[in-house]
Amino acid sequence: MAAYLFYPRRANGVSLTFIAQSAKDDAEAMEMAADIAADHDCVGVFVWEPAATSEGRDRFVGEFAGSGEESRAETSDGRGASVTA
């Protein structure tokens, strides 16, 4: 099982915490994001797979968005994405 990082976000876009969980694939991770959104009363959850690329970069899996917002998922081309501060 792959490790995923879930970032529940508030209406203002801020994510105050993250949750690390294992899931068998991206689809299961996105289902878990929906549960996390409900459990934490947030408007959405960003989902990342840490260091999932051959370059050691995190891969953006997708975003579960609550009611009234649009969910999105990345189609991975194998290059992944990286997080910069």
Work out the average pLDDT over 44-73: 84
Q: Cα–Cα–Cα angle for 80, 71, 25, nearest 5°?
A: 50
DSSP 12: T
Which is nearest to 19 in space by CA: 36, 44, 2, 38? 36
Pairing of strands 44-49, 2-9: antiparallel
- How confident is the model over 14-51, as pLDDT tens digits? 998 999 999 999 999 999 999 999 998 899 999 999 98
Which range is least confidently modeled, 33-37, 57-61, 63-67?
A: 63-67
> For position 53, what pLDDT does the model report?
85
